[in-house]
């Protein structure tokens, strides 16, 4: 078993859970802004540095998200030195499609109505959007960290009760996340966001099909990690 629970490398507050990932050499903390404000602030600071380094700080919209009000859950990968080196957050479940930042990203694009319709049609079953994903340029194992983040869809579904998890990102980023069960919405034309250098695409994870969208060993790993992070037996939580 490549992923086990180890002794914490930093103080983990009540309401947070942790999972040690041997491949990346980090401890993944699952929490909420209210439960761990210090870690939340550190996560956002590290994300901001990463986005600014790539010249896409505008995509972070830090002033809007800093209070954590629209974030249901976030994940922060902490290395052996106690530094946050990767993370992602989930907002939702949405009540309307207008809550999704995807509509901003596809503004002026002919596919924007299709984006809105796709989100709207899935709202009754629950839609959570993953945002502010990053892997630090200083991380020792960036590939393993990307894979780790791609496997956070199922614990997010279990925690929020949503059937669907969605994300928007540059095409090359989402292709890495396919290993965790996400599938690019190929029928949706890419958006030039945050600028013309990027082809931003939409990806979905479906709780009803995620098991079939990953390899057997990855599915076994996802279920183990989800049970540790959420404290729930997936058979009972299904």
Residue 28 in tokens: 């993944």
43 is a domain residue:
yes
Residue 36 C-alpha from the chain's centroid: 18
142 is a domain residue:
yes
10 is a domain residue:
yes
Number of domains the chain contains: 1
Q: Look at residues 67, 193, 206, 35 and name the one whose alpha carbon lies nearest to residue 128.
A: 206
Is 51's pLDDT higher than 90? no
Strands (E), the chain: 3-4, 17-21, 26-31, 73-78, 84-91, 127-135, 164-170, 183-184, 200-206
- What is the bridge-based pairing of β-strands 3-4 and 164-170? unpaired
Q: Enter the pTM of the model.
A: 0.89
* Residue 60: CATH number of its domain: 3.40.630.30
pLDDT in tens, 73-130: 999 999 999 999 999 999 999 999 999 999 999 999 999 999 999 999 999 999 999 9
pLDDT in tens, 162-208: 999 999 988 888 888 999 999 999 999 999 998 888 899 999 999 99
Phi then psi dihedrals of residue 181, to 5 deg:
100, -5
Is 15's pLDDT higher than 70? no
238 is a domain residue:
no
60 is a domain residue:
yes
Q: Residue 128: give the domain boundaries.
A: 3-228
How far apart CA 222 and CA 180 sit, in angstroms, is: 8
Span between the terminal Cα atoms of the chain, in Å? 24
């Amino acid at each position: 078993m490549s992923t086990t629970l180890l002794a914490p490398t930093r103080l983990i507050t009540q309401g947070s859970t942790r999972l040690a990932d041997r491949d990346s050499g980090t401890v993944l903390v699952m929490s909420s802004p209210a439960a761990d404000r210090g870690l939340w602030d550190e996560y956002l600071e590290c994300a901001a540095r990463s986005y600014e380094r790539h010249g896409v700080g505008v995509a972070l919209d830090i002033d809007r998200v800093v209070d954590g009000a629209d974030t249901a859950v976030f994940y922060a990968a902490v290395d052996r030195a106690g530094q946050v080196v990767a993370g992602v957050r989930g907002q939702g479940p949405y009540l309307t499609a207008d809550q999704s930042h995807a509509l901003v990203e596809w503004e002026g694009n002919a596919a924007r109505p299709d984006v809105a319709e796709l989100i709207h049609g899935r709202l009754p079953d629950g839609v959570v959007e993953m945002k502010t994903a990053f892997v630090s340029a200083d991380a020792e194992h960036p590939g393993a960290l990307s894979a780790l983040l791609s496997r956070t869809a199922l614990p997010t579904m279990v925690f929020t009760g949503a059937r669907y998890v969605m994300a928007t990102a540059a095409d090359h980023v989402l292709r890495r996340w396919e290993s965790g069960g996400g599938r690019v919405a190929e029928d949706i034309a890419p958006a030039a966001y945050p600028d013309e250098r990027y082809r931003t695409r939409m990806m979905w994870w479906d709780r009803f099909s995620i098991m079939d969208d990953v390899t057997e060993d990855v599915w076994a790993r996802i279920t183990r990690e989800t049970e540790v992070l959420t404290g729930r037996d997936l058979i009972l939580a299904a």
